[in-house]
């Protein structure tokens, strides 16, 4: 019996290799599929499943926005009967498929790019869509050797019975196929700034982790950045500089919203209530709301009853200043 099984396995593989050799000899292969199934991936984090027979094909349609997509992961759950009939069913990945797959179309032309068979209860195919990808090969998946055509908008997978004399149970078996995008480990940083009082801001520069970036890009769609924490500095001659720390998530846009503040120095006068205060020639009475002034030298005078303090201060643009009077009661013990 063992000898018979060995001969049967050899015959199967010989037939299988012959079939694939004929297909490989043709640059463009015309073929008919039993049914064409469609998996429509709508966004970066979408995962969908479809059932297919041993002679069906599946087209995995990519999202319209493919910015963060570097490949497609296809997981196939294989019925026990298919795994037991080792090398009886083949899977094939195709390129240059024509026409564009639809459920109503069963006749196609394309180049068979990669193929294999099933010998276990599951198979994970990793299909790159970019040459410079970071997809890692491991012991539990098969990394395709070819780069699928991202511009086509889909990945085409075909199942094919490659052995004669199989059981009806095998012919009626259903494979469960799920697909999801493989994403790059990046996201966008976007800066949305307004001037004081909500006005359109004057020109400014943006630095990410100490490196100046293109302002038009980061204020538009966003700057493509590695995931993780980043330091953002927004510098302007017209406003106060702004600093933010943001965390970029995979395939998402992190938006930095800010309203620029006037670059003029801010003065806060701190004194006991009803203290009379002169800032240059302007009189105030404590408490005083913070106000803007001009850059340069100024004089501050505090008057509390008969007590008067005068100070000169020099202020710079982009800075804030607290100017306070400090009145203390001192208690000393004396001898009679």
What pTM was computed for the model?
0.77
Neighbours of 184 (CB within 10 A): 21
Q: What is the mean pLDDT of residues 97-109?
A: 97
Give CA–CA dist 218/208, Å, rounded.
Answer: 10
Q: What is the mean pLDDT of residues 313-336?
A: 80
Q: For the chain, how far is it from start to end, CA to CA, in angstroms?
A: 125
Name the average pLDDT for the chain.
89
Give CA–CA dist 147/71, Å, rounded.
Answer: 9
Residue 318 pLDDT class (50, 70, 90 cuts): confident
Q: Give whole-number Cα distances, 241 to 69, 238, 253, 266, in Å.
A: 36, 9, 23, 14
Residue 332 has pLDDT above 80, yes or no: no
For the stretch 33-74, pLDDT in tens is 999 999 999 999 999 999 999 999 999 999 999 999 999 999
Residue 131 has pLDDT above 80, yes or no: yes
The radius of gyration computed from the CA coordinates of the chain, to the nearest angstrom, equals: 36
For the chain, give every domain's residue range: 2-183, 186-259, 266-324
Name the percent of the chain lying above pLDDT 70.
90
Q: What angle do CA 137, 19, 140 make, to 5 degrees?
A: 20
Residue 12 has pLDDT above 90, yes or no: no
Q: What is the mean pLDDT of residues 132-136?
A: 94
Q: Tell the burial category of 26 from Cβ atoms under 10 Å away from its Cβ (0-12, 13-18, 19+).
A: exposed
CATH number of 186-259: 2.60.40.10
Say if residues 86 and 136 touch (Cβ distance below 8 Å).
no
Check residue 330 and give its pLDDT: 66
Say if residues 302 and 277 touch (Cβ distance below 8 Å).
yes
Residue 106 has pLDDT above 70, yes or no: yes
Residue 118 has pLDDT above 80, yes or no: yes
Per-position b or e across 213-227, b if 16+ CB within 10 A of its CB: bebebbbeebbebeb
Check residue 27 and give its pLDDT: 66
Q: Tell the burial category of 18 from Cβ atoms under 10 Å away from its Cβ (0-12, 13-18, 19+).
A: exposed
Q: Which three-class secondary structure state does DSSP give residue 309?
A: strand
């Amino acid at each position: 019996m063992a000898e018979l099984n060995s001969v049967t396995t050899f015959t199967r593989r010989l037939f299988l290799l012959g079939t694939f050799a004929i297909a490989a000899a043709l640059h463009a292969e015309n073929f008919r599929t039993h049914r064409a199934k469609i998996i429509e991936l709508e966004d970066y984090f979408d995962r969908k499943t479809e059932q297919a027979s041993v002679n069906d094909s599946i087209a995995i349609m990519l999202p319209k926005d493919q910015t963060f997509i570097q490949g497609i992961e296809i997981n196939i759950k294989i019925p026990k009967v298919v795994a037991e009939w080792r090398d009886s069913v083949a899977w094939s990945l195709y390129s240059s498929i024509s026409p564009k797959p639809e459920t109503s179309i069963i006749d196609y032309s394309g180049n068979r790019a990669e193929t294999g068979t099933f010998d276990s209860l599951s198979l994970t195919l990793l299909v790159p869509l970019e040459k410079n990808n970071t997809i890692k090969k491991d012991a539990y998946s098969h990394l395709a050797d070819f780069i699928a055509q991202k511009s086509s908008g889909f990945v085409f997978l075909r199942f094919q019975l490659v052995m004669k004399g199989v059981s009806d149970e095998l012919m009626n078996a259903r494979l469960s196929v799920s697909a999801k995008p493989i994403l790059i480990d990046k996201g966008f940083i976007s800066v949305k700034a307004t001037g004081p009082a909500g006005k359109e801001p004057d020109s400014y520069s943006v630095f990410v982790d100490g490196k100046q970036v293109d302002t038009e890009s980061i204020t538009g769609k966003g700057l493509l950045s590695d995931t993780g924490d980043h330091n953002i500095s927004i510098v302007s001659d017209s406003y106060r500089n702004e600093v933010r720390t943001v965390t970029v998530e995979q395939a998402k846009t992190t938006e930095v919203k800010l309203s620029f503040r006037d670059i003029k120095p801010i003065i806060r006068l701190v004194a006991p209530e009803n203290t009379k205060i002169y800032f240059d020639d302007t009189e105030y009475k404590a408490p005083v709301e913070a106000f803007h002034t001009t850059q340069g030298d100024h004089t501050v005078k505090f008057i509390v009853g008969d007590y008067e303090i005068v100070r000169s201060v020099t202020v710079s643009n982009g800075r804030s200043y607290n100017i306070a009077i400090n009145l203390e009661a001192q208690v000393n013990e004396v001898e009679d």
